[in-house]
Structure 1
């Protein structure tokens, strides 16, 4: 055996220079002094003796040296230091990547020889994605991407984007129904406050951008895959992708043969679901695909007023897709989808531990009789009726040396919701009038994208494009309350108020973009991209506010009710913005199984027209002036609405993707640092509910590490582990209103310091042709706060799921899944309510689903 004292670490090639050498040398020091863990490589002496090739012996020797040096440092570190770990997280990421490269580089030269000798038996399946608007192997793309396959979705009970939140580390999802929805990645998330606001995560359905984030929360059916791109994607996807992109790709028609698939399932809380698909070949070069989905359930939230279950599914949808190849050079793909969702929006009342004592006392009465986590109080009719229509037309032309692609998109939605506004009365039989809020919003968008790209790129690949979108949206809200500060009329008579609100917004944007990838050498490449965007918005708000307090009170405001009169507020504001975003990436591929990359990218999120005239600005501006025509405007002639600047981001990412062990092991990791300027934030002021705090944070940062390990242990056993370590901070508030609890130095909301998704899948043959697969999942998220204060916490939670699927080998299959088997109680979101004493006194929260089961059977034909 070689003398270990004479072994040196694998060298970093001279291309990386001093920085690479330094990072490589620091790998062990940083790793072991911060993590304080022992290594499983203590047995690598035996490991080395079994190896035969010089490269593998060198790998084993280096690994043992790493372990020996680490043991020495462990003895000098008495305990794990979390603060030190967070402080050095960036250095740890860089050095870990360098160390990982060193371990991978040594055996890379012999990987092909070994693969030829042993064959590819049991290798991981290649995953093809269109994240960069062309088909590519996932391992060949210098981006951090998580993929959820359609097969896993169908057998695992994944019905909506909500269901993949815990399966994708770093993804934050919250469907607040009419009141908004948020999507977040890598610690950057946003709440849609009103129908015209933009998200930090762009959602695309079959290549068409969905401008309103709630459009992404319909049921998912007949899906090919979901791609989650982490980090800003300003070049390929343009505006509103500062945190990342979610691509939903539905299944395409197939021209090879006609086929079909129908399945039905039954589950907890009276759930019944049916899905069907028929692929019909209509000619040698054309096919039609029809898919339908229906879902109903009783709901898992109990209304203590009458004991009924509420919030259940009531969903139906259909999609028709047509593929036509008119010639060898022309291909047309048309898709139309219609859906209707009548699931009502239901919240549960919660009393947080840090609320105002007086208000907590009153609201403790409101919780009387609400003994279970999933109990609520609803005594007014609630309803929801939402319809969505999505149309996409993609036409591809093969022009020989280059291709042309046209993507035309149309989306529309119409939503009518009636909510229980206050979740009162306190107990069953209370005669007070409760708050009710009927609302509606609707919108349309029309978009067109044109791409010209290389078909046979060779050492140079390029893509040019034009994009245009036009949007319109309207929203109405009406709120009536049975009591001032949610105290029933029986306690404070005549304290009700009402608020009638109308919003109308129009917007348009266009952009031009280009990307060029070229080879600097046989194993070194570069990608350069640039995109220019120009957009404008116009918004009009009208609000009528009033109350039923007697006029004897003098006409001045008491709380949020005005004495015996109605007041009309109106305002219109317009704004235009422009931005240039780019991408620069270096990719090094010393072999077919290894990719290392370093990139810089930027992006921007559309500016907003913010502020809600009426209640919020009355408190903020000190009153409104009557102009003699029944219209009130802001003091000193100012208007209530104001524009907010676009959110911009600069991101640096260094990553590695590797495939080892004859294709049976994948090790991927990336370190990133993002600096945001003018981050757009919206939240309800917890001390004055009708005042909406919306604006730009001066500067915020997010630093972290993403990692993914996939290991096909054998032909029947697959292990996967993906995770994210994250550190976020508000560096400079700028001019943002801090009255809601925001302050410099705190973490961003919905940004867990640690999250991971682990799975074990075992597949074994049954009988002559059948197969039984068992998949266990454990998905974990660290504790977070839901807003920019500490008043809406969510504790750390881990969800355990099990999926069983039987394939008969013929034309039928069956599946059984259990989700949240440990029956964890957790919140998807919570909203702070009014409190005049310094803490959120009552919260309306959206609870996560309890333990659920589903069993189903399907037939293929």
Structure 2
């Protein structure tokens, strides 16, 4: 960060803090902003009272902006980036911290939780964000409050719960281009004279492929997804609450559509490839497939005792995943080498959490608990090369088990009416057993030898958070927080030798220092929040491609990530709202030498834009007869991104500008509405994935312009 940038950031926060000393008089004509409630600290709180950086998408935003999957969340959240190859194995990065390791013994650095349940495998991040209460994005290390420790941050998807107070139901149908046809519905019914309730919701999403394969004649990058969730909740006594939920997702798609994006002019193999940058077409020898089935069960028991609430939260989830793809996007007529791959995975994972937390009425807010997470994963990784008719297939089989245990506690103690201090600690221990073999297959491509290796390691760490918050005045909060996160070590998914298979990579750690301010002005009509942060990141786990096509995970040494985030939500007059959020992220390596003679110190961390801004204006027009028409848009800009830590070569993304918009008519009684919407209206073209080896840079593109109409009905 330059000196001028530092001065600008400090002045911005200082200006916000000084403005809290003499808030302006509210104009009576200005409407109040609605209260946003979150559970980021494992208790219900106003967003403006939470002393950490949280981005929230509420139920209305999720529905109207067609936020359905993690990628839709990322485009609207500064500090959050999303990358997937293929799309059914998403990779999440928060403030520059993420992981591309999909091996059976790897872990994500930024995690996704579904109703507080950790989704432990990348392909398990499969759900439809329909009938959700809100989506919270927590930035920075987590662990003293949430069961599974993460380094970069967490995305919490919170479903609407079964409600015993009233019957409710709703449905929606969507039609759009690319022959899109979506449907979704829910029903909530009280039971047992209002002491219990059942809630069922489901959805399906279908559309034709965005890309035509000119070699096979078929369309790829289509969608055929079905999701369902069933919940049962009851309150047998005044101090006992029970809930049970079962959910599942079935996902089918062809693709992804790959392309030869650039030639690596310094490589002899560059002559084998033909550049193809046509987003609308691919020419792969096969269409590819992405099949995913995942389901889970969740049980929660809350028992109020005189001084606290005792909670048990248990879960079990299954994943059955299979994908096959043409990596180069060409055939014998276009490319002299054909590269294809297959991944198959079956995973079972569970979690148990027992915690005790303070009652909502308690002056001191605290939580303490024990946590256990376990997983059992079988994974198959196949690389198939066809060089001038000579077929070479290499197969890696992986089996990994993980047993993770933790004890955690966190307390917020008000010293005065305005000053509170927070402290939390967590002990984590991960035990991993891993077996990897390349004894199957016709060839050795990425390895130097045949091997079958079984190895076992354990990793443990003590992490913490400590901070303070001070109310300068009513509705004006200043806070400081230090938090440390830990991600355990692991093993190579496609090692080149028995020695590499037995040699683990070390855990990574991140310590975040954050100072922030949250202010509300004009009786709630204006919200302005600012955050300055610095992350000290050590032993970060990074992926790189070797000359023999092997992909290895290294510990990169040290990195510093620092930046500034601001959020403004303003209702200037009745019906009008403007929301602006911006993140500046300076993420660079301090020490990183991936091999002798190569120094990446000073380079930017991959997949991390320096600037990201989201602007969302909206206006609700009240018609004379009482119905309303709403106009809303979302503009998102990201600065350039390097997809490789070398910061050189073709793995580079130009800055992007995305525009979504919608017009919504809502009836007088608010029972039904119709929405006309468009996403990526400017038909922005960007690369969502790319990787360079064997003389070329291969990659895929984002979806094109889509539009449609949605009819919604509520009981």
Question: What is the TM-score of this pair, normalised by structure 1?
Answer: 0.79
Pair 1:827–1:198, CA change in 2 (3 A): same
| 1:646 CA displacement | 0.9
* 1:162 alignment partner, one of 41, 59, 71: 71
Is residue 2:312 matched to residue 1:452? no
Within the alignment, does 1:93 sit opposite 2:3 as a pair? no
Contact residue 482 and residue 497 of structure 1 kept, 8 A:
yes
Alignment match, 1:419: 325
Correspondence for 2:208? 298
Distance 1:684-1:854 versus aligned 2 partners, 3 A rule: farther
1:391 and 2:250 correspond: no
Which residue among 378, 397, 402 is the counterpart of 2:308?
A: 402
Aligned mate of 2:637, from 754, 770, 780: 780
> Counterpart of 1:163 in 2: which secondary structure?
helix
* Superimposed CA distance per residue, residues 591-619 of structure 1 (whole angstroms, 9 cap, x where no aligned partner): 23100011111011121122523xx34xx
Partner in structure 2 of residue 145 of structure 1 = 54
- Cα deviation 1:248-280 (Å, max 9, x = unaligned): 001111122212111110112111110011111
What displacement does 1:387 show? 0.5
Is 1:858 matched with 2:707? no
State the secondary structure of the residue aligned to 1:342. Answer: strand
CA distance in 1, matches of 2:490, 2:560: 21
Of 397, 420, 442, the residue aligned with 2:346 is 442
Sort the Cα spacing of 1:146 and 1:572 in 2 relative to 1 into closer, same or farther, 3 A: same
Change (3 A) 1:282 1:777: same
Once the 2 structures are TM-superposed, how far is the Cα of residue 410 of structure 1 from its aligned partner? 1.1
Distance (Å, rounded) in 2 between the aligned partners of 1:725 and 1:560: 39
Change (3 A) 1:742 1:346: farther
Q: Is the 8 A contact 1:612 1:641 kept in 2?
A: no
Q: Is the 8 A contact 2:69 2:129 kept in 1?
A: yes
Alignment of 1:676-687 (within 5 A): 676-685=537-546, 687=547
What does 1:403-552 align with in structure 2 at a 5 Å threshold? 403-427=309-333, 434-456=338-360, 458-483=362-387, 488-489=388-389, 495-544=390-439
5+ residue gaps, structure 2, are none
DSSP 3-state at the match of 2:435 = strand
Closer/same/farther in 2, CA of residues 441 and 737 from structure 1, 3 Å limit: farther
Q: Deviations over 1:266-314 (max 9, x none)?
A: 1121111100111111231111110011111111112121443211001
* 1:598 is aligned to 2:471: no
Q: C-alpha offsets along residues 229-265 of structure 1, whole Å, 9 cap, x if unaligned?
A: 1111131225542111100001111122212111110
| Residue pair 2:118, 2:148 contacting (<8 A) in 1 also | no
Give secondary structure in 1 for the equivalent of 2:99. strand
Contact 2:325/2:340 (<8 A) preserved: yes
Q: Which residue of 2 aligns with 1:723?
A: 582
Residues 58-207 of structure 1 correspond to what in structure 2 (within 5 A)?
86-107=2-23, 114=25, 122-177=31-86, 180-207=89-116
**CA distance, structure 2, for counterparts of residue 180 and residue 801 of structure 1:** 25
Provide the aligned length of Structure 1 versus Structure 2.
711
Cα offsets for 1:493-516 (capped at 9, x unmatched): xx3211121100001111111111
Deviation (angstroms), 1:458 = 4.3
Q: In the alignment, which of 266, 277, 280 is matched to residue 374 of structure 1?
A: 280
Distance 1:274 1:561, change over 3 A: same
Does structure 2 retain, via aligned residues, the 8 Å contact 1:180–1:192? no
State the distance in 2 between where 1:561 and 1:526 align: 53
CA distance change for structure 1 residues 757 and 214 in 2, over 3 Å: closer, same or farther?
Answer: same
1:765 equivalent in structure 2: 622
Residues 721 and 381 (structure 1), Cα distance of their counterparts in 2 relative to 1, 3 Å cut: closer
Instruction: Check 1:544–1:287 CA distance in 2 against 1; reply closer, same or farther (3 A cut).
Output: same
1:706–1:722: 8 Å Cα contact kept in structure 2? yes
SS for the counterpart of 1:496 is strand
Aligned to 1:63: none
Q: How far did residue 786 of structure 1 move?
A: 1.1
Tell me: CA distance 1:529–1:832, structure 2 relative to 1, closer, same or farther (3 Å): same
Deviation at 1:169, TM superposition (A): 0.7
1:640–1:192 CA distance, 2 compared to 1 (3 A): closer
Query: Is residue 834 from structure 1 mapped to residue 694 from structure 2 by the alignment?
Result: yes
Q: Cα RMSD between the aligned structures?
A: 2.3
Pairwise CA distance, 1:421:
4.2
Determine the C-alpha separation between the residues in 2 that align with 1:200 and 1:225. Answer: 22
CA distance in 1 between partners of 2:352 and 2:470 (Å): 35
Residue in structure 2 matched with residue 801 of structure 1 by the alignment: 660
Aligned residue in 1 for 2:608: 751
Which one is further off, 294-303 or 151-160? 151-160
Separation of aligned partners in 2, 1:296 and 1:447: 32
- Offset of 1:546 from its aligned partner? 5.8
SS of 2:40's partner is coil
Q: CA deviation at 1:87?
A: 3.6
Do structure 1's residue 312 and structure 2's residue 312 form an aligned pair?
A: no
Name which one, 1 or 2, has greater alpha-carbon Rg: 1
Task: Measure, in 2, the Cα distance between the counterparts of 1:328 and 1:546.
Answer: 62
1:642-661 equivalences under 5 Å are 642-661=503-522
Shift of 1:842: 3.3
* Rounded Cα–Cα distance in structure 2 between residues aligned with 1:801 and 1:684: 36
Q: TM-score, normalization: structure 2? A: 0.95
Match of 2:468 among 573, 586, 603: 586
Q: Which residue number corresponds to residue 158 of structure 2? A: 249
Alpha-carbon distance, 1:784 to partner: 0.5
Aligned mates of 2:557, 2:656 — CA distance in 1: 31
1:699 pairs with one of 535, 558, 568: 558
Contact 2:577 2:618 in 1 (8 A): yes
Distance 2:557 2:661 in 1: 44
Greater relative CO (CA pairs within 8 A, separation 6+): 2
Following the alignment from structure 1 to structure 2, what is the Cα–Cα distance between the partners of residues 247 and 440?
A: 27
Q: Deviation string for 1:721-765 (max 9, x for gaps)? A: 00101111110126x4478x7611101011111001001000011
CA deviation digits over 1:677-721, x for unaligned, max 9? 111112333x432x2121111111100001100001112000010
The answer as to whether partners of 2:104 and 2:493 remain within 8 angstroms in 1 is: no
3-state secondary structure, aligned to 2:286: coil
Cα pair 2:105 2:432 within 8 Å, conserved: no
Whether the aligned pair in 2 keeps the contact of 1:302 and 1:310 (CA below 8 Å) is yes
Instruction: Give the Cα separation in 1 of the matches to 2:588 and 2:365.
Output: 38
- Measured in 2, the distance between the counterparts of 1:723 and 1:560 equals 42
Q: Deviations over 1:639-671 (max 9, x none)?
A: 633111111111110000000011100010000
Q: Give the stretch that moved more between structures: 415-424 or 445-454.
A: 415-424
Secondary structure of 1:242's counterpart equals coil
* 1:433 to partner: Cα distance: 9.2
CA distance in 2, matches of 1:611, 1:88: 44
Higher mean C-alpha displacement, 349-358 vs 670-679: 349-358
SS at match of 2:557: strand
Deviation for aligned residue 1:357: 6.3
Q: Quick one: distance in 2 between partners of 1:216 and 1:179?
A: 8
Distance 1:711 1:506, change over 3 A: same
1:177 Cα offset (Å): 2.9
In the alignment, which residue of structure 2 is the partner of 1:621?
none
Report the Cα offset of residue 561 of structure 1. 10
Answer yes or no: is 1:233 the counterpart of 2:137: no
Matched with 1:607 is 489
Confirm or deny: 8 A CA contact 1:89 1:704 kept in the other structure: no
More strand by share: 2
Deviation at 1:831?
Answer: 2.2
Matches of 1:737 and 1:327, distance apart in 2: 64
